[in-house]
Amino acid sequence: MPNGLMYNRFGITVGKKIGNAVKRNRVRRHIYEAFRLYEPTIKTGYDIVIVARVFALDAEFEQHQKVIGIMLKKAGLFI
């Protein structure tokens, strides 16, 4: 969603279905790092929220990175 600001805001939600706090934080760290790698190529002025699902627990970092890239491309957020 456009936020009318000169910068992006990014949020991640990881529900308790993922597992305990250690597992949820691991998924959160992977997703945040994958997003950070794409950040320089993303348009500014958007709020971006990612909701992690149970299958994110078994995914490797490269899979998170690939999926986030696909989602950003589909949303039209690349410069």
Mean pLDDT of the chain: 95
Domain ranges for the chain, please list them: 9-74
Pairing of β 47-52 and β 9-14: parallel
> Is 9-74 in CATH node 3.10.20.30?
no
Q: Given the structure tokens 């993303």, which residue do they identify?
A: 42
CA 25 to centroid of chain Cα atoms: 13
For 45-55, write each residue's pLDDT tens digit: 999 999 999 99
Q: What is the pLDDT of residue 15?
A: 94
For 24-44, write each residue's pLDDT tens digit: 999 999 999 999 999 999 999
> The pTM is what?
0.89
The Cα–Cα gap between 35 and 41 comes to 10
